[in-house]
Amino acid sequence: MTITAPKTNNQKLVNIRALAAKCCYSVIDQGRSLGDELPKQQDKALAKDKGLLQEICYGVMRYLPELENDVRGLMQKPLTGKQRVFHFLLLVGVYQIKYMRIPDHAAVSETVAATGTLKNRHMKALVNAVLRNFVRATEKSGVTESTIPDSTLPISIQYNHPSWFIKKVQEAYPDKWQQILTANQQKPPMWLRANQRCHDSASYQKLLAAEEISINSVDPLSQGIELTHPIDVLKLPGFEQGWISVQDGAAQQAARLLDCKPGDVVLDSCAAPGGKTCHILEQYPEIASMTAIDIEASRLVRVQENLTRLNVEATVIAADAANSQTWWQGQYFDRILLDVPCSATGVIRRHPDIKWLRKASDIDALVILQQQILKETWSLLKPGGTLLYATCSILPQENNEQIEHFIKNNTDAKLVPIDGEKNQTEGTIGWQLLPGENNMDGFYYAKLLKVEA
């Protein structure tokens, strides 16, 4: 009789630290998005390890300058070329020792074992020596992490942000820049949006209570629900049935500010991944139609998935918002949500790789693109219609300065005051939410009414 051995799951042989090092290498050295690279590596891991992998990768992105400074002090020369991935393996090891509850010996041994997975056992001695020396150094000093920046270090290491960005934030927010940078380093909360077609916020909160899912706060403006702790979306009552969606509290302000009326023809420009599109449809079921466009057809797949799950309908078009001639059929819009491409500097706590993927030179190019899209989209708005300009940026060039420039050059554009502006710095146009404010992301809104020129 032939006995066949059971097949082994190759995933069990994968070292999570090796996957983390590869992911961080792809982001920092190859300029790829963490949102794209992390799922690729998670696909190679067991379900129980996916969260650990995410924690390590996000942690390295959050504390990159600090970790690199720690490693630099323990090596004679930096790792380059084919050895570069091991530089990130060292960062992975140091992050675990400093910021995770994993015992030091386990963090070191698992990280050293990753050298075999990365197919270079010659690096084993180096990785082992560096990490053990780091453990000894931290044990001797008695300090592994501190909330107080070391003023003797370069400012980029003190605050774990690129120096060009720190300078811009200091210039824009001289009294709040440290608060902003600190908020960017925090783990983001989980905000929920109840589907008004199924349950209002109050009734959904009762469903959460029945499942013993605790709430930290409810936003009085949007009725968004902030959970005390993030949980798996499949544990949310009615998630698969479309009763609830995950959306940050700042992003939930868009639908109410757009203030659609029955019979309105609505456009969501630059719509992917579709959270705001769906929210508008949930909140205003009596609008005449919704059109959602985005330049990337691949991202519209997510929009359609959200529409289907929530049982709402929209016309979804892959199109360039800066060139309406390629898609517009001649029908003007009563309401337009224009969430323009931006630096995303308001959502760094959710996407810490933004700090390292974005460059100072990107901002000027984005401002020009925003101007083009705003001008083109404005031409599609009916007289008497409303355009809501939005970004997830905190940089004035993309926000209040952009709108101020537009109003000066378009006599038919009138700024409409919105709640929230009362908390703004005097003279600021629009509503700027800063990261961490009301425990929300950084976001900007400006509401424009089209009047007779």
| Catalytic sites, residue numbers | 392
What residue spans of 212-269 are helical by DSSP H? 253-258
* Euclidean distance between CA atoms 390 and 401, whole angstroms: 13
Closest CA to 390 of 362, 370, 405: 370
Query: Do β-strands 381-391 and 443-450 pair in parallel, antiparallel, or remain unpaired?
Result: antiparallel
Closest CA to 196 of 283, 126, 297, 129: 283
Q: What burial class does residue 243 get, using C-beta atoms within 10 Å of its C-beta: 0-12 exposed, 13-18 middle, 19+ buried?
A: buried
Q: Is 306 helix (H, G, I), strand (E, B) or coil?
A: helix
Structure tokens at 326: 């390629």
Closest CA to 433 of 448, 444, 422: 444
CA dihedral 292, 296, 299, 304 (to 10 degrees): 40
Structure tokens at 210: 């029945």
Q: What burial class does residue 114 get, using C-beta atoms within 10 Å of its C-beta: 0-12 exposed, 13-18 middle, 19+ buried?
A: buried
Which amino acid belongs to residue 80?
Answer: T
Q: Is 349 helix (H, G, I), strand (E, B) or coil?
A: coil
Residues 432/403, Cβ–Cβ less than 8 Å: no
Long-range pairs for 133-141: beta carbons < 8 A, 24 or more residues apart: 133/74, 134/70, 134/71, 134/74, 134/93, 134/94, 134/97, 135/97, 135/104, 135/108, 137/74, 138/97, 138/98
Number of DSSP helices (H) and strands (E) in the chain, helices first: 17, 12
Which amino acid belongs to residue 159?
Answer: Y
Which amino acid belongs to residue 317?
Answer: I
* DSSP for residue 434: P
* Euclidean distance between CA atoms 221 and 423, whole angstroms: 14
Closest CA to 382 of 447, 417, 336: 336
Task: Answer positive or negative: Cα dihedral of 421, 185, 357, 306.
Answer: negative
